[in-house]
Each structure stands twice: as structure tokens, then as C-alpha cells.
């Protein structure tokens, strides 16, 4: 039996996750998971660390995040491709920039506007009227999540999740609502929860998880836990197989809207460089300087870095135009 964990928080989910991204990826490799999704709250802060660890351990990493909605339940989204990753970044940026530091939130319509290239998972049951618009925004890409924490309320939550999935006509998918890479890390997660609520651990009561089950588990353990729902378990691998976004395939694209019409970034950089040379050497540019400039411009073009130098030039011109030392 194969299994991919689709809901997993690292310590970048502040005062919630209790494990480093690297620990989670290493544990996923040790346990034999097909894939691991890092889905921290309203951010991609751990993506680079997890990506590097995933390459080291040979684990497929899904780029995702759990997004807070202002007018709906939290939803986990995954980038299918580069376009999806770009949309995820836009959503996270909008969510953070429109709220005070430490807070986040999106209207569901904003999520719907940027749903292209994304898959979505509702981690737990919610009211049908709040979820239906979200499901419509992700045709063929919306899922209802199901987890079993071996605690009171599991059966009721499962019944609600199943009813919701049936009403929406979308698949039910298993996850383990991961907060730690190992059960031994649960005491730390308890401390983080107590800090988040401003109480001692002794005073935290039911705000603490009742056990250490929200941890990474092996495919075998998950298969035993969901022996009655093999289809929902298999769908974790199916969902993961639809996500090909990787930081390896991404590179920065500098804005080109300010370029003179008909001129490429390399041509514009050359024009500015030649103008600077004439200003620096009014009596004529020395041959050795010309050779060095040609060498550097060719290297910059080969590395596709012209946009970087144009951005720096723009900053310097802005500062000089306002009498700012730069």
C-alpha cells in the first residue's frame, strides 16, 4: 500500500507545528511515504528547506499551504505546476499584506480568481453552504479530507465529511493532520499550544491534543487505520501524482513593462551601459574596458541576469533623483 501525506505543518506554522521541515522530510523518507506535502499556515516559509531535504532524501515534495478564509473554512491548496505556484504565491502575499502582522485571510472569491494550477483539500468537515462555492472554483480538483486521531468525535467528524463529499460530488481523501515528525515530539507541541493560548501546560486542558497521533505515519500504519477506506487512502497518491510543481523548475522573471518599446532586457542593458561608458570616458572608452564590458554583457545574457541589473539601476536612479545616498 502506498500513501502520501497531504496535510503537514512544520515549525513555520508558528506555535502549531513542532518539527523542522528537514525532520519531516527525513521521516517521510524513512517511513516510505510516496510523497509529502508541506502545508504551513498562510505561507511558504519552509518550502526551500523542505525542497533541499527532499532532493537529498529522494522524496517527492508537494508545494502547498493551508489558507485562512475570511468567509469560509480553512482550505489546503497544492501547486500543480509553475502557474499554480505563482497563483499560490499571489494568494499568500495578498492574504498577509491585507492584514496586520501575524494575521492572514482571504475572501473565497479571491481564492477562486486564482484557482488555476491549484488543487484544493478541505481538511475537515464544514457547512455545505460555506464549501459549495469553493468546490465550484476547483472543478475536478476539490477534495474533502478525512482524518482519524483516535479521539472523541472521530466518528461524528467522519460522518459529516462523508456526507459533505457526497453532497458536493467530490472525492474523500485521507490525511493525518500532521504536527510532528515523531510521537516523541508531542510534549513540545503541547508547550507550543500552551504558549499560543497564554497559559501553562497544566492549564491548557482540552486545548491540547488528547494524544500524539497527529504525526507522520507509515503507509502500513495508515492502511491499518483506514482498512475500511482503501479508496480514500489510494487517492492520496493520485492527488500527489497530479502535482509537478518544483522549485527546481522555477526562476525569477523580472518585470518587463518598463522596457522601451521593441527593446529586450539585454538590449536595454547594453544601451544604458554604453551611455554610462560615454559619460565615464568622454575622451573615448579604452579598448581594455570595451573588451571587459563585452565579456560581462555576454555572461549576463547567458545567465539571464539582465533584469537583475536593470532593477538595481532603477533603484539607484530613484535614490539619486531624491538626493538619497546610494
Collapsed DSSP state (helix, strand, coil) of residue 107: coil
Are both 191 and 296 inside the same structural domain?
no
Answer whether residue 50 is part of any domain: yes
Answer whether residue 259 is part of any domain: no
Answer whether residue 326 is part of any domain: no
User: Starting from the edge strand earliest in sequence, which strands make up the sheet with 75-79, in order?
Assistant: 4-5, 35-38, 60-67, 75-79, 118-122, 142-146, 172-174
Answer whether residue 260 is part of any domain: no
Answer whether residue 256 is part of any domain: no
Are both 221 and 274 inside the same structural domain?
no
For cell 479571491, name the residue. 110
Are both 131 and 74 inside the same structural domain?
yes
Q: What is the pLDDT of residue 165?
A: 98
Are both 179 and 104 inside the same structural domain?
yes
Q: What is the pLDDT of residue 21?
A: 98
Answer whether residue 121 is part of any domain: yes
Give the number of domains in the chain: 2
Are both 170 and 116 inside the same structural domain?
yes
Determine the Cα–Cα distance for residues 285 and 294; give it in Å rounded to an integer. 12
Tell me which residue of 245, 213, 218, 174 sits closest to 33, measured CA to CA: 218
Domain boundary among 188, 218, 248: 248
Q: What is the pLDDT of residue 261?
A: 86
Are both 118 and 39 inside the same structural domain?
yes
Are both 305 and 229 inside the same structural domain?
no
Question: Domain containing 121 — which CATH number?
Answer: 3.20.20.140
Are both 62 and 211 inside the same structural domain?
yes
DSSP codes joined into one string, 217-268? --HHHHHHHTTT-HHHHHHHHHHHHT----GGG-------TTSPTT--HHHH
Strands 118-122 and 60-67: unpaired
Joined together, the cell numbers standing for residue 281 give 570616458
Q: What is the pLDDT of residue 287?
A: 94
Determine the Cα–Cα distance for residues 110 and 36; give it in Å rounded to an integer. 27
Domain boundary among 202, 221, 248: 248
Query: How do the pLDDT tens digits run along the chain, 326 residues long?
Result: 899 999 999 999 999 999 999 999 999 999 999 999 999 999 999 999 999 999 999 999 999 999 999 999 999 999 999 999 999 999 999 999 999 999 999 999 999 999 999 999 999 999 999 999 999 999 999 999 999 999 999 999 999 999 999 999 999 999 999 999 999 999 999 999 999 999 999 999 999 999 999 999 999 999 999 999 999 999 999 999 999 999 998 777 777 767 888 899 999 999 999 999 999 999 999 999 999 999 999 999 999 999 999 999 999 999 999 999 87
Q: Which domain holds residue 276?
A: 265-321
Answer whether residue 255 is part of any domain: no
Please give the backbone phi and psi of residue 105, each rounded to the nearest 5 degrees, phi first: 170, 145
Answer whether residue 254 is part of any domain: no
Please give the backbone phi and psi of residue 81, each rounded to the nearest 5 degrees, phi first: -155, -175
Amino acid at each position: 500500500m502506498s500513501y502520501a501525506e497531504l496535510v503537514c505543518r512544520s515549525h513555520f506554522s508558528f506555535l502549531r507545528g513542532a518539527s523542522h521541515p528537514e525532520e519531516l522530510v527525513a521521516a517521510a523518507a524513512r517511513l516510505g511515504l510516496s510523497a509529502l506535502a508541506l502545508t504551513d499556515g498562510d505561507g511558504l516559509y519552509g518550502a526551500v528547506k523542505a525542497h533541499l531535504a527532499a532532493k537529498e532524501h529522494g522524496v517527492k515534495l508537494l508545494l502547498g499551504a493551508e489558507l485562512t478564509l475570511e468567509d469560509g473554512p480553512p482550505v489546503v491548496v497544492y501547486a500543480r505546476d509553475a502557474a499554480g505556484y505563482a497563483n499560490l504565491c499571489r494568494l499568500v502575499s495578498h492574504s498577509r499584506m491585507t492584514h496586520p502582522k501575524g494575521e492572514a485571510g482571504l475572501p473565497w472569491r479571491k481564492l477562486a480568481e486564482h484557482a488555476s494550477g491549484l488543487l484544493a483539500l478541505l481538511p475537515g468537515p464544514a457547512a455545505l453552504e460555506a464549501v459549495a462555492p469553493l468546490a465550484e472554483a476547483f472543478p475536478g480538483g476539490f477534495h474533502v479530507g478525512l482524518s482519524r486521531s483516535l479521539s472523541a468525535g472521530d466518528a461524528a467528524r467522519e460522518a459529516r465529511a462523508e456526507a459533505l463529499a457526497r453532497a458536493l460530488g467530490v472525492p474523500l481523501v485521507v490525511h493525518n493532520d500532521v504536527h510532528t515528525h515523531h510521537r516523541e515530539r508531542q510534549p513540545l507541541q503541547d508547550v507550543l499550544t500552551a504558549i499560543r493560548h497564554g497559559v501553562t501546560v497544566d492549564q491548557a486542558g482540552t486545548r491540547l491534543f488528547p494524544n500524539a497521533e497527529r504525526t507522520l505515519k507509515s503507509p502500513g500504519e495508515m492502511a491499518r487505520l483506514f482498512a475500511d477506506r482503501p479508496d480514500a487512502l489510494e487517492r492520496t497518491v493520485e492527488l500527489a501524482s497530479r502535482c509537478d510543481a518544483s522549485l527546481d523548475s522555477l526562476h525569477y522573471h523580472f518585470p518587463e513593462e518598463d522596457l522601451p518599446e521593441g527593446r529586450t532586457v539585454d538590449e536595454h542593458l547594453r544601451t544604458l551601459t554604453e551611455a554610462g561608458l560615454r559619460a565615464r570616458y568622454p575622451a573615448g572608452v579604452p579598448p581594455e574596458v570595451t573588451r571587459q564590458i563585452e565579456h560581462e554583457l555576454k555572461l549576463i545574457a547567458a545567465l539571464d541576469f539582465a533584469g537583475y541589473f536593470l532593477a538595481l539601476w532603477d533603484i539607484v536612479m530613484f535614490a539619486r533623483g531624491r538626493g538619497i545616498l546610494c
